[in-house]
Chain A
Amino acid sequence: MFARVMISPRLITAVLPAVAALVSCQRGNQADTAIDEGILIIGNAAEPRGLDHHLVTGVPESRLITSLFEGLASDHPYLDDVSPPGAAKSWDVNEDKTDWTFHLRRDGRWSDGEPVTAHDFVFSYHRLLHPDLAAYYADMLYFLVNAEDYNRNRRSKILLSNDRVPGATWEDFDGLDGSPDESVDTDGLGSPPEWERAGDEEARARFVRARGLDHLPPEALDWLLESPDDRYSWPASAAPEQIRALLTALREHHGEDLFEIANVGVTAEDDHTLRIRLRESVPYLPSLSCHYTWFPVPRHVVLAHGEITDRFTPWSRYPNLVGNGPFKLKEWRFHDVIEVERNPHYWDAENVRLNGIRFHPIENPYTETRAFLAGQMHASYTLPPDLAETIREKHPENLRQEPWVGTTFIRFNTTREGLSDVRVRKALALALEREQFVEHIFEGHTTAVSMSPEMGEYSPEPVLEFDPERARELLAEAGYPNGEGFPRYSLLISRSSARPQAETAQAMWDKHLNISITIENRDWGSYIAAQQNLEFDMASAGWVGDYLDPTTFLNMWMEGGGNNNTGWHSPRFEELLREAATKSDAAGRFAVLRRAERELMNGMPVAPISHHSRNYLLHEAVGGWYPKLLDNRPWKHVSLER
């Protein structure tokens, strides 16, 4: 029986014509069909981790979210330094550029027809900053006054600074740090430390320091209150009754959300007036508000599916997701497609040109390029560099290569012997022939002359150059004449696509400085971990700007910055950044930032190599699609025409 089924003639006669029919039918070109339907089909690199823009950080997510939501201002179709009105119709600002009033559109609607109000914005910024939501990107809102204290849950400081502790102010507790002390030995306390396990006085004192004053359970606060002086080391400036008052206040407000008390700089003056107070001068706030962290979430929908602090509610999934952008969610299949369609409630719906967009999360850039060339898509996400030459020859009309605010660089661990000498770091930076990188390795990139690329009115002083002579001198001065005795450092990379650039640097250093390094390829997780723990010598890395201002490339090099990872810091550099934050005129501000950037390049914790470029394929029928420095796609202006 078994055997007969296998090759039964009847089966063959049934299957063969079917297969033949399938194969012989000529396929219609999907891209052409979609043009007639007004639906744009594009590659989007990866499956988004989610569409709750308070919880994501990636570029694929950003492209989707900008089609579904809109900030106070919006992206101009082709200008980079102009931000036309979005959810806000207009805005006023004080002289200092620290106090902004946004007038929301009266006709602004969520995609379910509910009005978009200033309360939605306050709720959104509250949620993003809420310490219990633990949003990765909360620091994008640290520009708001008191936002950082609230997000970091500095409860003592918030209570002291806002008259919640009778007879005491924050100044009285100068130097108090209520955050967890990671150096405390938590043996026997459990992980995380538990109060119940802290049996004796000594263990309880350790518990208090390990958890931090701002994060104690009520029992621990009660215990401290019994005898505050000898159970915690208080700043000398605080009087005993003040300490008692602070502990009482902490006890009273335990578990309470301090958003109101903290007086975070966002308030709804009325339903359509939003006031934003900033801790520093931010002349580029409208452009910043086009970053999705500044977009609103629909309060009524988020709360219908859970609490303000719930991370995993289904509000941001199909079919619940409600936005205020030009499009709304139509379909979501993992690793396959996310389709959006025209949002009829959008205030500017009549000027939206497309009927919908299909985002395909294609991880493999070769697959994506093949699909584009086979007529299945209108735009690819990225073009593999090794295909650029062929495409330039055969499909020049489809090739797009556009500047993108990003920098590739080599990060130095300045705590390593040798690399701790700025002359060594400079020698390594000066021996890199950037033209070669740009010509042969980084397709479409431009050579870096400093850390920040040019953007708008800002251009950094050109300090980086190729000067092997000077590099050799510096190396000799540092005690390594002709590279003798130079330590054998390793250059850390992740992903094999970074190997060519690493090998090029290796060869240049060998040729010009007579030193040899090794290349170490690690998976992404350990590559990141090694840098964060300063367990590396040199690392090949990159950074893409979040908004169009040089601070997005400079702030990261401050002491303790989560992305610094070089062990380098400079009081002078940080002083200049602080000075720039007080300047409200663009020219004066940029002049100070230029000096800060010079200071950074003087310390050379990184050797910038090139500035990014976006390389991709675009169908001739796509209109309203212009190069944008941040690669933000203002979807509502995009069109399809034969």
Chain B
Amino acid sequence: MTAFFQSLGMSYEWAWFVATISAILLIALPLLLAVAMIIYADRKILAAIMLRRGPNVVGPFGLLQSFADGLKVFLKETIIPTSANRGLFLIAPIVTFTVALIAWAVIPFGPNMALADINVALLYILAISSLGVYGVIISGWASNSKYPFYSALRAAAQMVSYEVSIGFVLLSVVMFAGTFSLSGIIEAQQGHVFGVLNGFGFNPLLFPMAVIFLISAMAETARTPFDLTEAESELVAGYQTEYSSMSFALFWLGEYANILLMCALNAILFWGGWLPPIDWAPLYDFLFTPEITGMFWLFLKILLGFFIFSWAWATLPRYRYDQLMRLGWKVFLPISLIWVVLVSGYLMLTRHGGLL
């Protein structure tokens, strides 16, 4: 894109600047639209599983429901509790929202279609997702109220715990791909199983890691069955209790952008990202160009992943806190640790020439 703006007669630096800004807008604005639609999809899936109708009043099939909700919270009054820590109280939702958006900078949407195709992309995502907890902790503390504070403490412990197993899962994927770059990981998956199936998830050695990643992603985004941070039967609404209006909406948008990000990561790391599931040439560009076809496959995989998230929400009861900690530390951590040893042993045997 820089070359295009340079052809309009700008100097290289200005062209780079304008190209980057427009690429950011090109990712962020459709992302916000996608978040609005995914909230609608979530409610519809939930309603279908619970044999209800779901939103069906605003617009055709209720499609505009999220925008009506957005307009509603936008017009409401922002209430700041008198004893709250004012600055931090307002910064917390902004932190959550920003962190949820900046992680998308390294996601490759198609062949050569990432805003920043850096060679430490996976580490960047891991670093950014570990920042997500600050929004929750700061909001819980700054609200100066009992329930948000409990929620913040729970969130801190929960996210730190599950990040450990996510780290080990990513490590085994990185060992198979031999790179931290997301587009490199996707390319390594081409014809991974028998030269036919694209995706590490089809590999029996990595499939258990895909399952652990999916469950840990639910815990990391505090989605049911792990939504102890906003368990309404215990904590009113958790860290969001004191929030209203736009600050509340920013939490919501950030949460769903994070969920979409985790679905995208799941698609990229285990199911081949923008590659079609089967390595067969016509599947690479049956829609206009290879880029658009790549986006089609990636979005299809993201939506399938999101459907699993919704399905889990509708089906599973909430974990108790000690069960959550047990699952993270006593089940996932040992399994993923052993798996890292297994995967590295397998790779030494097959790829790097013998165990010694």
Question: Do these two chains interact?
Answer: no
